[in-house]
Chains A and B, each alone.
Chain A
């Protein structure tokens, strides 16, 4: 069984897994990192959104072998100890989460968006394709704007 070494939320880890095992299952089932959620497995719902070298990816379609030697950040790695990331703070301020299941992915997508553009327009926010079945979209929009202000 091939082994793959990469970093997860700042910690170096090694997993033995077939090359093509989706990173999502390496994280969830082999490493016990369960912040990223399964919602479709085919890059549609975006619930699993995490970062690979700082860019948003969907680990349900990233083979674990592709993570080798790179840095994976999941929702668990976003806060600095007890200090939340400004996007998480904005999510609390707007009380975005309902069932919360999509929110790790929504937050990771928002963080990536704010990295690309400091002042996202409504059109930029529309580009986030993450599904929220509880329909919290408007609060997500408000939270992203609030986070942009916090990070200005």
Chain B
């Protein structure tokens, strides 16, 4: 019996004229997932209980309000306490609902929930956790609604519920009578009993779930109809942009030409903030001109003296040295550097705010809306209950929208200016003053003898990651009660230990994180520590294989722990024709990663004939994420992870120069374009058993390893610093 099969849910009827049900998640005892028992490497904390479990656990007591309603027209509405940023979550949830209700997918409408403070820890989108935490409760909620519909029809016809079936949202009796959900909804709303326990369909009976399905919002997205935050029509909301300091966290000392700027065409207001000087205008074009025209005296920032070299030196100095070894011990050793990386979502940081004397309304793409609501209420001096925070589907995140800085700025400007505003960050500001993945330094060593790996040590030093966005509370609160000994660790340590683990039987394995606190705008970036940490390890794995005279795929096969892991590796090796001969300057590379109860392998081919202009020409990816809701969506996530890996491994990073990133646009932060992307990509989803694992971040680390390894083999080099091509090949924008 699987763990989730033991979970119990109580579904409640919500008082409403047509059917509405809400599911409360039961407080059943928590049973940790299976650790791999028969392995020589003792299980790391991540084997016992990973981050996803902690979030589910933490969310449980308050996850009692998943609300589903069926209107009298038969349309199903589900309020989702999560954020959609392009990861396809609304589609996956709609599929689960449609499946359980036996109703067509296009009748299911997903609405992103406003901030609901009563949900406490359970309204946070991150850590690849959404499907993992929602899979069971969503299915129970929809199954309960179906049961009530069938019950209402049975009542109406004087038949037994079990004599009825449902087809496409219509209850059908064996004698041919039919009743649509719409026609039953009012009756279903008034039935006794109020609470009921239902069992969702067996997974073997799923028809829609598990079938490749297109995004429910695809049409709106390709016609330009989808409204992002700044496309919303909020009456009277005026464009607003902020002039920001010349260094990170610089302060405003004086605005020297405020009246001249106020007199510029279209300018409506100038407002000084903690983070800069805001201009409100009739158009964004005018707001941009006016904020550029501002003459501001700035106070110092928090890292003004720091540049890349200093940061790298500090990280290196902070990385603990590895154990002293005897001279005869055979080993592979390597040190790696990874640069800062911008989240750089296509839609820059943005928010709409309408703050009045007695209430406020905010619209923004927020993955942690409860934290945003609390901060805004405090900043504008209103009770939380008077601050409505709407979560808007947004143009990418990659971790960025865990922070609510734009929403907070918009709220303060709106209050001070006495009007509604639409606040937008410029791209330059988004890259320079936005969030970034912290730079890291790595020291890795493996020792071996007689064809066996005896020890594997990895010390990571990272610029401190800012987790002050709500996730910290959820996990540390739950972790404190766990028997794994991580309860007292700092949050970053907790996250590192619960996400990073080695999938190989490498004997005594240690992985540890040291953080270097620098007051910069960092944040978790898709796959948090794993992209760099596991990426670096995959490079060492290739070098170990070479030392032992083994082929990289054969070597991994021999040291991976489970058949499930080997299956994804075998798949890419076969489908990618591993070992085929390639021209000089070309090579294949392979990488493997396991996280959030999912695993994946990636094989790429690279053309590095010009080592300064390498191109990944082909990629083959296989993934087993356990139960798959939407294979098409999963493939999209893996494709995105691949592109992230190609970008950050080969060319995309931020240079820090005297307290500010130099990069200010995509012409400088070299995220891949079409010409950098493979023309041939094959992705295989291996249907796994049991509950769904995480998928949104999984793809990055394996692809980092594959791309770096391919580059190394094609060029005959040992890349140690990423991105490998990282010249300042541009003239930075003025500060």
Contact = CB atoms under 8 A, between A and B. Distances in A.
Interface string B663-699: 0011100011111011101000000000000000000
Contact of A97 (B85, B215, B426, B672): B215
Contacts of A100: 86, 217, 221-222, 226, 395
Nearest to B426: A41
- Please indicate which of the listed interface residues A21, A40, A42, A126 has the most CB atoms of chain B within 10 Å of its own CB: A40
A94 B461 CA distance: 41
Given A22-B285, A34-B227, 11 more contacts: A21-B285, A29-B284, A37-B346, A37-B347, A44-B665, A74-B224, A88-B222, A92-B222, A99-B347, A101-B345, A135-B647
Contacts of B679: 122, 138, 141
A133 B671 contact: yes
Interface in B309-353: 344-348
A45 interface: yes
A134 B396 contact: yes
Contacts of A129: 673-675
B217 A139 contact: no
B427 interface: yes
Contacts of A134: 86, 346, 396, 640, 643
11 contacts: A28-B284, A37-B346, A42-B667, A44-B665, A88-B223, A97-B217, A97-B222, A99-B396, A129-B675, A134-B640, A140-B674
A104 B347 CA distance: 13
**Chain B interface size, under 10 / 10 to 19 / 20 to 34 / 35 or more:** 35 or more
A38 interface: yes
B498 interface: no
Interface of A: 17-18, 21-22, 24-26, 28-30, 32, 34-42, 44-45, 47, 74-76, 78-79, 84, 88, 91-92, 95-104, 107, 122, 125-141
B284 A25 contact: yes
A47 to B, nearest CB: 6
B372 interface: no
A131 B641 CA distance: 15
Contacts of B396: 98-99, 101, 133-134
Given A18-B265, A133-B396, A135-B643, A35 B283 contact: no
Nearest to B396: A99
Given A37-B346, A135-B643, A95 B632 contact: yes
A40 B673 CA distance: 15
Contact of B215 (A18, A95, A132): A95
B661 interface: no
Contact of B642 (A39, A40, A95, A135): A135
Contacts of A122: 679
A51 to B, nearest CB: 13
Contact of A45 (B87, B346, B397, B636): B346
A25 B218 CA distance: 26
Contacts, number: 187
B674 A141 contact: yes
B467 interface: no
A44 B86 CA distance: 22
Contacts of A102: 346, 395
B674 A128 contact: yes
Contacts of A45: 346, 427, 665-666
A115 B283 CA distance: 33
Contacts of A74: 224
Contact of B674 (A40, A47, A97, A125): A125
B242 to A, nearest CB: 15
Contacts of A78: 223
A30 to B, nearest CB: 7
A41 B733 CA distance: 13
B239 interface: yes
Contact of A99 (B85, B348, B671, B673): B85
Contacts of A138: 639, 677-679, 681
A136 B675 contact: no
A92 B219 contact: yes
Contacts of A125: 674
A130 B426 contact: no
A35 B87 CA distance: 21
B348 A39 contact: yes
A20 to B, nearest CB: 8
Given A34-B227, A135-B644, A107 B222 contact: yes
Nearest to A128: B674
B698 to A, nearest CB: 14
B358 interface: no
Contacts of A140: 674
A5 to B, nearest CB: 18
A132 B346 CA distance: 7
Contacts of B395: 37, 99-102
A124 B669 CA distance: 24
User: Which 10 A-B pairs give the minimum distances between C-beta atoms?
Assistant: A135-B643, A35-B224, A99-B86, A101-B395, A100-B221, A75-B224, A25-B285, A98-B86, A137-B677, A101-B346
A25 B424 CA distance: 13
A29 B285 contact: yes
Interface string B485-496: 000000000000
Contacts of B639: 135-136, 138-139
A141 B679 CA distance: 8
A100 B91 CA distance: 14
B88 interface: yes
Contact of B223 (A18, A76, A126): A76
Contact of B666 (A40, A91, A103): A40
Contacts of A96: 222
Interface string B251-267: 00000000000000100
B282 interface: yes
Interface string B74-95: 0000000000011110000000
A99 B85 CA distance: 6
A134 to B, nearest CB: 5
B357 to A, nearest CB: 27
B394 interface: yes
B286 to A, nearest CB: 7
A131 B666 contact: yes
A126 B231 CA distance: 30
B610 interface: no
Nearest to A74: B224
Nearest to B636: A98
Contacts of A75: 222-224
Contacts of A92: 214, 218-219, 222
Nearest to A75: B224
Contacts of A135: 639-644, 647, 672, 677
A33 B284 CA distance: 14
